[in-house]
Amino acid sequence: MSNQTVQTVSTSSDKYKIVLAIAAAVAGVVAFYVLAGQAKYVRLGALFGGLALALVLVFISETGRELVSFAKESIREAKKVVWPTRKEAGQMTAVVFGFVLIMSIFLFTTDKVLEYLIMNVILGLK
């Protein structure tokens, strides 16, 4: 990512836009359920209309513009990633499985040795 400083200061108009966006989204969902007796397309229109209005309000605020900028920057950074080849991925997976197998054998053996020592040698229960 870039070396931009993070600023958490926002204007009051941006805060109002975010509050209005939340209200529009909630209104769309509420309208969907209130209009239960109406046709399905009317209910869906109210729902998607409220959500669309909320998205527009968010994206015209400074917070929304920063979110879009962050998303674009994240995509640009993800394109820089060098992904392993199929062969390399298979080799790494085999190494992980081998390590897990060795560790499981080690832990099983340690558990059984400690169980034997505690139950038979120390407590003499068996």
Does the pTM exceed 0.75? no
Q: What is the pLDDT of residue 88?
A: 97
Same domain? For 118 and 59 the reply is no
Mean pLDDT, the chain, integer: 90
* 48-53: Cβ within 8 A, 24+ apart: 50/24, 50/25, 50/26, 51/24, 51/25, 53/21, 53/24, 53/28
Q: pLDDT (tens digit, 9 = 90+) per residue, 42-51? A: 999 999 999 9
Same domain? For 75 and 112 the reply is no
Domain membership of residue 48 as a residue range: 12-79
Same domain? For 120 and 71 the reply is no
Q: What is the pLDDT of residue 6?
A: 58
Parts of the chain with a pLDDT under 50: none
